[in-house]
Chains A and B, each alone.
Chain A
């Protein structure tokens, strides 16, 4: 492990406008803090007869009660203010990071105590903590610095403890621990360098926060005392003249907001650099005219897909190339292949749910007499295509009851009343043999088992009485006995209602049991089309990839499974 590496290999800081703006603004502040007292301190301290002036040539931001130029005073005050904020941030960072690391290195009992202490201080208003310190030490500039530092320690400590425990669970740290590397060395060599980026963000924000809080304390008279002055005391001076000369507010107010904004920009910019936003273009589906169709379309076909192509809009890379198949009424067609073979993408094209950033085209894509490549009313799609997904635990909304979320499609797209939709869903629940269907309507997904949730999902898909059911790995997330129940269910609904089914799976055992025909996909292409399940054996399969898949599938004795 290279200890100087702060970013994972291959990742470089991506500059963006926000980050650059923030850094430039900070640089301006630093420059003013450095230079202004040398140039303007005379002007800022000169008492003139021209007191309480508004904005006018020579005194752009007016003059205070003693006739001192407010612009000059604001510029000069930058150094004091920035130095105080820097000191407070540095103290808070050192103590906070130290405490956070100590908490993380401590034995579990003390660690918990330390974490609780951090939480206690964090749930307490920071400014009030600062005021407590001011109450103890009496008002003054140093007090304000210490007060604000104390108020910011907990933030650093919590971030450090959180990051440290996150990094500590990584593989190489565990290995180092097992090898007997002492805790403090792990902390210095591995943990601290990995925290650089979030630390930079919180430091920028803590600095701005410290500047705002110190100015606030000075503003109410608890910070810097005359004859010294900072942004806060200037603001307080101008507040006393607010009725007669409000222009005086502009200098100190703009200065504080400027620094505050610089920190926000740096934080946002660094965060954006770490997670660049994907500008995925909206998905498109179009018809394509070319030769080469070899699809034989039976007269009873429910779905005809001829030459589906899917590609990445940005890179132009083709992910699915020329996939063609049909599904007849009452037929179950399986698509198998390893993950990344394009089977789910094919399904998303057929269901008109292609994700953003991709474009698809086909020579023909029809459901019955409807051209899915054209504009199809949403209500029609909702009522003719039913969808079942892989993981019922995540495919159902955790915040809504089953009754509430599963009746939405009936009510919004099929024109059912609330009561009719409920009745239809209860009937669908009965159809999939859910015990106590009325009670299920009132339950949230997390109150039910995965198998029950998948039944509910299937019931919902079937409640619209679709012509085509698309099931994308519907049994993968379920355990074996539940898998069998779900398969039996799909099989029964298919034979009772004649619903055509597109069944996607990587499990050849499951496919063999359920499907009438199987398409084998590899790298976006159909490599083999098996029309009889008897051919789905290592001996009789034609394509080497199919043989390979079959060889990797444990032998399932279908008869014994049925009996069990």
Chain B
């Protein structure tokens, strides 16, 4: 099962969660004619090998598609790309320089070949603005973006699961209806606030009024001090979305036969929910966190500009809006896409380790 759905930019798209995301729709795998033990170990390794081969193959294809996409960013510019990039006021000499740097005089196939050869050795061309390799600029910015995006997803996963399960326990069997209503209302409000707007609110409240954190990235405050507001802006809305889905999923799992068994053993609520229910909700939560990470990487691009955060988002937006710095745009698009693809794969592998049923053939 690959992480598939695209949560909308707030990660709140829970009503369109595909059926296949729930491991419980394929419950019958564990039923009747299961494997007999002597062969289990062997078939296990085989399943893993097949899974890894399949996933790495699709990663390779996706990376190739990604590189092609970055190539066509320049090719698809309407009219003469060189003139468009150099701008209306550019001298013919500048236009020619741009054309030469991007190799636009060559036939398209030759350009593509040169581009692919360059990318294979990590060369996306030199930045028009800074005159250094574009990839260097992007790689210098990448850790900033990766840090806030990954920290946010971790917070969403832990916070969302804890909140969702707690509310599921507290409202089980129609208990505390007021809490259920309050939970739905509050999470609705928070998932509806786009991260970049939440970012502006956070700046006003915590930087301007309370002065707890700097309003923008500055070394004077230290890295994490500056990172807290961007991380909060990215994660708060998605925590609500995650908690809603975890709560609903917990209610689905609660109806499973094995939860009836747990009640039949008269296990205390803490053991029932903490040990028997939680791991079965975790599969869904992890799958969802992969989707949320993808959405957050997108949101981070815009949130970064609010905080002047020196990540890929700030770099790529400056490159488009001000500098027309296409080598940097190409490198940035590739790096973000690659991070998103690799993370998806890593999450799928973790999922496979937790719940081997997800290793099965696709379709």
Contacts and interface: CB of A to CB of B under 8 A. Distances in A.
Q: Do A and B come from one complex?
A: yes
Contacts of B208: 242-243, 246
A131 to B, nearest CB: 6
Interface in B334-363: 336-337, 340-341, 344, 354-357
Interface residues of B, number: 97
A249 B200 contact: yes
Contacts of A393: 28, 30-32, 34
Contacts, number: 277
A479 B2 CA distance: 34
Nearest to B244: A268
A446 B260 CA distance: 18
Interface in B159-213: 173-174, 184, 188-189, 191-194, 196-197, 200-201, 203-204, 208
A409 interface: yes
Given A119-B4, A219-B196, A446-B29, A399 B280 contact: yes
A208 interface: yes
Interface string A397-440: 11110001100110011000000000000000000000010010
A205 B8 contact: yes
Of listed A219, A264, A412, A413, residue having the most chain B CB within 10 A? A264
Contact of B5 (A122, A396, A439): A122
Interface string B239-278: 0000000000000000011101111111110010001100
Interface stretch (A154-162, A170-178, A531-539): A154-162
Given A235-B197, A400-B275, A127 B3 contact: no
A397 B301 contact: no
Nearest to A246: B204
**Chain B binding surface, main DSSP class:** helix
Contacts of B154: none
Given A124-B337, A125-B295, A387-B264, A261 B192 contact: yes
A219 B341 CA distance: 27
Contacts of B72: 136
A461 to B, nearest CB: 9
Contacts of A134: 320
Interface string B138-173: 000000000000000000000000000000000001
B125 to A, nearest CB: 15
Contact size range, A: 35 or more
Interface in B99-117: none
B84 interface: yes
B267 A412 contact: yes
Contact of B189 (A131, A138, A154, A261): A261
Given A158-B4, A220-B302, A264 B188 contact: yes
A256 B302 CA distance: 15
A443 interface: yes
B197 A281 contact: no
Interface stretch (B10-18, B126-134, B221-229): B10-18
Contact of A123 (B174, B280, B340): B340
A7 interface: no
B9 interface: yes
B258 A396 contact: yes
A238 B306 CA distance: 12
**Chain A binding surface, main DSSP class:** helix
A242 B215 CA distance: 10
A275 to B, nearest CB: 10
A256 B194 contact: yes
B294 A125 contact: yes
B16 A198 contact: yes
Contacts of B200: 235, 238-239, 242, 249, 253
Given A126-B6, A243-B215, A135 B326 contact: yes
Contact of B266 (A257, A381, A436): A381
A382 B15 contact: no
Contacts of B356: 444, 446
Given A249-B204, A261-B192, A379-B266, A131 B16 contact: no
A18 B344 CA distance: 34
Given A137-B78, A158-B4, A268 B65 contact: no
B91 interface: no
Nearest to A198: B16
Nearest to A271: B15
Of listed B72, B298, B336, B357, residue having the most chain A CB within 10 A? B298
B84 A162 contact: no
Given A124-B337, A243-B215, A280 B33 contact: no
A212 B9 contact: yes
Contacts of B194: 212, 215-216, 256-257, 260
10 contacts: A126-B295, A162-B19, A166-B19, A213-B9, A239-B200, A261-B192, A389-B261, A439-B37, A450-B31, A453-B34
10 shortest interchain CB distances as A-B pairs: A127-B298, A393-B31, A125-B298, A399-B279, A409-B265, A382-B266, A394-B257, A209-B8, A261-B192, A446-B30
Interface of B: 2-6, 8-10, 12-13, 15-16, 18-19, 27-37, 40, 58, 61-62, 65, 69, 72-73, 76-78, 84, 173-174, 184, 188-189, 191-194, 196-197, 200-201, 203-204, 208, 215, 256-258, 260-268, 271, 275-276, 279-280, 294-295, 297-299, 301-302, 305-306, 316-317, 319-321, 326, 329, 333, 336-337, 340-341, 344, 354-357
